[in-house]
């Protein structure tokens, strides 16, 4: 690719990225102020009640200071005011009131923590692993493995075990649950729940390297029937194309080192370094949200992943245009 082409592609990508960012912005303009689960509401209410208490303290303390400054300021011809030393009643009051506030905040926090973070279930519903820079989701009960798009049935709490494949990440879906770090060799646990079917934005909220900002994911809450249908579809092995461009794409995938990192159920590829691609085309985002998963963006990704997501662990294979077409044709069959 010459530099003029490369510039043109970059310009196009900036537009695409803006489009993806705008989608996320529209989806959740102020997610922390819009809780959509009992767990997130408990946290939200604690924030609001504490915020009111802090505001009142500020107004009272600042008001008393301003009053004292005005009332007792030095005036021409006035004698020095009467000097006092010690006042037991005042001392008791200004010790007791802050203690009481701390106790109230402690009780409110305790209540919210119990509501938002009950003890872990014996078997998690989902195991989520943070990678540089994407998320793997495994469903131990059914065997589904996917990436960057976590489906859940709405209306009931699900237990999640959080792991990390490399460094510290932080799993955060502001509308549905608390934040929790993924720590190498130290599984953590949270509960997630959504009141109603909808799609929620998740992000990584712990700086984890170059592409920390593009470690988004979607939580797709569905009716129990839709969720069961999704699980069934995800469990099906990938269809093997027997002829044409897609079949050539599969051959390229298997002949190159793609299979050293990716898995496609139904083929020889079963590595777990990169995202599972078995149902790649059913997912809405590409590169953990850096762009929407469209055929055009897929071609850009295959042509030069480093241009789409600088620093991404996927190398640039320098595929020819024909190879990119064949690979893209194959990946688009992975519904």
Q: Return residues touching ligand CUA (CB under 6 A).
A: 130, 133, 169, 204, 206-208, 212, 215
Q: Which of residues 46 and 219 has its CB atom nearest to ligand CUA in the complex?
A: 219
The CB-of-312 to ligand CUA minimum distance in angstroms stands at: 13
The CB-of-145 to ligand CUA minimum distance in angstroms stands at: 19
What SS3 class is residue 177?
Answer: coil
Q: Which of residues 250 and 314 has its CB atom nearest to ligand CUA in the complex?
A: 314
Nearest to 176 by CA among 196, 161, 205, 162: 196
Q: Which of residues 153 and 289 has its CB atom nearest to ligand CUA in the complex?
A: 289
- Evaluate the omega torsion of the peptide bond into residue 253 and state whether it is cis, within 30 degrees of 0: no
Q: Which residues lie below 8 Å from residue 258, measured CB to CB, with a gap of 6+?
A: 252, 269
Q: Which of residues 133 and 253 has its CB atom nearest to ligand CUA in the complex?
A: 133
**C-alpha distances in Å from residue 183, one per residue of 165, 170, 174, 187:** 8, 9, 20, 7
Contact yes or no for 153/223 (Cβ under 8 A): yes
Q: Which of residues 21 and 105 has its CB atom nearest to ligand CUA in the complex?
A: 21
CA angle 106, 110, 113 (to 5 degrees): 135
The CB-of-230 to ligand CUA minimum distance in angstroms stands at: 25
Q: Which of residues 162 and 252 has its CB atom nearest to ligand CUA in the complex?
A: 162
The CB-of-133 to ligand CUA minimum distance in angstroms stands at: 6
| Strand boundaries in the chain, DSSP class E | 126-131, 134-139, 144-147, 149-153, 158-164, 169-172, 180-182, 188-192, 198-204, 217-222, 285-286, 291-292
The CB-of-181 to ligand CUA minimum distance in angstroms stands at: 10
The CB-of-207 to ligand CUA minimum distance in angstroms stands at: 6
CA angle 283, 126, 140 (to 5 degrees): 100
Nearest to 270 by CA among 262, 280, 278, 279: 262
């Amino acid at each position: 690719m010459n530099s003029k082409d490369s510039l043109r592609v970059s310009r196009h990508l900036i537009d695409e990225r803006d489009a993806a960012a705008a989608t996320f912005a529209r989806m959740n303009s102020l997610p922390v102020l819009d809780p959509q689960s009992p767990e997130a509401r408990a946290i939200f209410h604690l924030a609001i009640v504490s915020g009111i208490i802090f505001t009142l303290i500020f107004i009272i303390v600042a008001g008393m200071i301003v009053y004292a400054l005005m009332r007792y300021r030095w005036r021409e011809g006035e004698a020095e005011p009467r000097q006092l030393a010690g006042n037991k009643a005042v001392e008791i009051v200004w010790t007791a009131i802050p203690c009481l506030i701390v106790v109230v905040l402690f009780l409110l926090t305790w209540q919210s923590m119990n509501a938002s973070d009950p003890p872990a279930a014996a078997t998690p519903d989902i195991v989520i692993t943070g990678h540089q820079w994407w998320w793997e989701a495994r469903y131990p009960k059914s065997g589904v493995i996917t990436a960057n798009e976590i489906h859940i049935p709405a209306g009931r709490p699900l237990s999640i075990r959080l792991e990390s494949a490399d460094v510290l990440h932080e799993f955060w879906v502001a509308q549905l649950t608390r934040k929790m770090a993924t720590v190498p060799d130290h599984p953590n646990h949270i509960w997630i729940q959504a009141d109603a079917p909808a799609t929620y934005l998740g992000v990584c909220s712990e700086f984890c390297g170059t592409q920390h900002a593009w470690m988004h994911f979607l939580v797709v809450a569905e009716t129990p029937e839709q969720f069961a249908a999704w699980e069934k579809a995800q469990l099906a092995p990938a269809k093997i194309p027997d002829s044409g461009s897609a079949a050539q794409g599969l051959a390229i995938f298997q002949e190159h080192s793609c299979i050293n990192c990716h898995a496609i159920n139904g083929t020889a590829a079963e590595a777990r370094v990169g995202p599972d691609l078995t149902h790649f085309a059913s997912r809405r985002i590409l590169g953990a949200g850096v762009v929407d998963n469209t055929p055009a963006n897929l071609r850009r990704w295959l042509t030069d992943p480093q241009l789409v997501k600088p620093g991404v662990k996927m190398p640039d294979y320098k595929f020819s245009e024909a190879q990119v077409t064949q690979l893209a044709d194959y990946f688009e069959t992975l519904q």
